[in-house]
Structure 1
């Protein structure tokens, strides 16, 4: 089980505190040891000065005996200080000279000696005293034990270690408590996030009074929920629309078949029924092919088979292809402008066909459909404008949605299943373009764009485009373009 954030932070704070305490304690330990050594040398100097005065004035044997008694009285019983005097005359000897391995030395004649018996180290100092009276020249040595310093340093080190451990433990407990308080908003966010479910898609994280570090995270998470909610809603709507669109031809097929089976029919009647059923099957196939195309386009696929062409030429080919529908509607088409771009000619023709068929269906006899091609930065815009009734502004943002119809009760709903403009949008996105619609001054303009950047277009990935979708150039399909 992974440790909680509060515990991890508390442990890290405790380790940091222990490191700081260790560094500070080491510094204090070094300073204290240095000061104790300094005080020990000063004490040794004082004792050396007193012993020097005593020995210097012992100029006769009687005074030397008194000097020996004074040195004996100055020597403590615990052996922390020792005095020794050495001369060529054995009668002027006192004590034992401290000898052993010299561990360190300082200016002024100070040495740190480790006795051979393994006792505590001694700090020694020596001074030569010249002859005076009956006393010959002597060598005075004063030694002070490091044992008090060692005991003090051990006690200080133990206390410092204990205080550091207690301080680190206190930091651990306090930081854990403080961290839990600081992470309370995160626990609240976790609780809010756990309440999000398919049955409660509107639930969002409460971003009120959040710390700065969590505010961006909460807004990003809410944004992700918004996108997921939108995608889920579109999926629900798509499923409902698909079921609705397929239910109509299936119902017609079942009804016509049931009628045909109620009694014996002539060959002509059966042929008529089969022809009607074939039309419904063709409609269902068109819906399914368009759905497959849009599903693959939603996966982020890009157009392949790109060739650099004159878009005006491609538009002219599409207008020639739609000559019969234009003649039947008694509508005229005019194209203006030109630009070159890398496009998939079949997909581009499909998008133009859908826009033109949409314009034909909403034009009156004698109207003119205007196709304009213009370059806007790195995009080439293809716009199809036709006279018509003004479009409700509330519907403009939905005209390129799947299965959306601005006129629910229009008479040609069986020929158009509401995917034509959605396919235009998908083709534009496959060419790294966008779509737009405007309705101003009695003119409705539907447009899409393609990327004119050669590098971006050449770097596109191929889509899996159904053969039925790429067959937009078949004349037999001109009258039944799915809208």
Structure 2
């Protein structure tokens, strides 16, 4: 069940308010009870002082009779205050002392007594008055009822509880209204986010009027939208390019097959048609293998089967493999530098092959392709430079994208399906590296890097079990190029 943030906050504010009101009410309740007890004791002391003076001066029987009358007049009918005098002489007696269970006592003869006959608790104070004249020593007790205090505390407690409940309810309603007002930017943010759709991918959240607490969230959401928009655009372009690349060989296959079926053909003609079709099938297989390879790389697959090798030796082996394409293009190749690194030799050779074939395609006769190996911190950079036409700065950022060609027209599509540089980028990322491209002073440089840090030898041996699948895909992709080179 989805809960409203406004209601949840309002309930929490109400609970906090109720807790605060309860704490404050308890404190006020205790303070009031203490003050009422204090006033009751002061009132009892005043009555005791008056009664003490009267009893002290009753030194004769006549004065004692007058004192008894005054004590009777001072005693209210509701029994809120009582006076009692007791002595060994039966003539000097008045009233009846409070008798019952003592609930509390204090210094100076003060006690809280619950009368045995029932009724409210009484605060009693008893003193002894020494003999004087014809009056013997007497015990004077003055008692005051707790009933007014109890009644006051009961009314005060009920009023305090009612006010706390009403105050908490008011806080609940007000906090709900205030919270809804405070969450208005969030509702506006939700509305803006709901308007984002595939048909309106450029829609972004307006962060200008958002509070500080929501600004970071909105910026993060906008960043996610930017990434999704880019991924969506790349996916659309990728789908269109895949359809275009696969449509060409399929169209050729259909056309050649239809021509072959229009009339009777000799065995040599059919063999030639099948051979041409086989080349198109191999081209389609290369595209599919490359796409599968890139899909695994997109899923975060890392290079396995790593061995520590001399990169200069690997580059030399690749140059030897491409000796025939270099001779046919009448292009020279030189290599400089060396470094040791842990790489998958098959993948590394494939990346070098793609960069070198790219350089051959864009070189003129007699040009020289330069391969430079240099270490920069924890990365080893392999750069392939060749003379060529300057590349537009707006084009540099897209050269390693899939199916991207700098030329407006798709020239040379039969030999190049636009995934070579994208595969170089994937292989670099599988080795925790990156790709680079520069175009300056008539020289175009394409480069990739690999991680130069060492790994645990046992971890390398454990990872070699999974290298066969990646190596097989690489060999299948390089098979057509090997046959062309031969």
- TM-score band by shorter chain is over 0.9
Correspondence for 1:6: 6
Runs of 4+ in 1 over 3 A off after TM superposition: 408-411, 455-464, 470-476, 478-481
* Offset at residue 467 of structure 1 (A): 1.9
What is the deviation of 1:470?
3.6
Query: Which residue is 1:163 aligned to?
Result: 163
2:228 matches 1:223: no
Note if contact 1:390-1:444 (Cα within 8 Å) is conserved in structure 2: yes
| Match in the other structure for 1:331 | 331
Shift of 1:162: 0.6
Change (3 A) 1:478 1:404: farther
1:90 is paired with a residue whose SS is: coil
> Could you say which residue in structure 2 is the equivalent of 1:318?
318
| Partner residue, 1:356 | 356
- Could you say what secondary structure the match of 1:363 adopts? coil
SS of alignment partner, residue 303 of structure 1: coil
1:455 Cα deviation from its structure 2 partner = 3.9
Is the counterpart of residue 369 in structure 1 residue 374 in structure 2? no
1:117 aligns with 2:122: no
Is this contact kept in 2: 1:350–1:472, CA < 8 A? no
Partner of 1:177: 177
1:317-466 superposed matches below 5 A: 317-409=317-409, 411-455=411-455, 465=470
Cα offset for 1:206? 1.7
- Identify if the C-alpha distance between structure 1 residues 200 and 41 changes in structure 2 by more than 3 Å, giving closer, same or farther: same
Contact map agreement 1:339 1:380 (CA 8 A) in 2: yes
Question: What is the TM-score normalised by the length of structure 2?
Answer: 0.96
Task: Report deviation, 1:480.
Answer: 7.2
Query: Counterparts of 2:411 and 2:232 in 1: how far apart (Å)?
Result: 31
The aligned length equals 481
Take 2:471 and 2:381, find their aligned partners in 1: how far apart are those partners? Answer: 26
User: Which stretches in structure 1 are left out of the alignment for 5+ residues?
Assistant: none
Cα shift readout 1:72-127 (whole Å, capped 9, x = no counterpart):
00001111101000000011000111122211112221111111233211111111
Correspondence for 1:467 among 461, 472, 476: 472
Asked whether the equivalents of residues 103 and 113 of structure 1 are also in contact (C-alpha less than 8 Å), the reply is yes
Aligned residues of 1:312 and 1:373 also touching (Cα < 8 A)? yes
SS at match of 2:47: helix
- In the alignment, the residues of structure 1 paired with residue 472 and residue 70 of structure 2 have an alpha-carbon distance, to the nearest angstrom, of 122
TM-score, normalised to structure 1, is 0.96
Cα RMSD over matched residues?
A: 1.8
Following superposition, the deviation at residue 408 of structure 1 comes to 3.6
Q: Which residue of 2 aligns with 1:210?
A: 210
CA contact (8 A) 1:322 1:478 kept: no
Q: 8 Å contact 1:293–1:466 — kept in the other structure? A: no
Give the Cα–Cα distance (whole angstroms) in 1 for the partners of residues 152 and 473 of structure 2: 96
Q: 1:472 to 1:295 in 2, by over 3 A?
A: closer
Q: State the match for 1:92 in structure 2.
A: 92
Query: Structure 2 stretches of 5 or more lacking a match?
Result: none
Matching residue of 2:258:
258
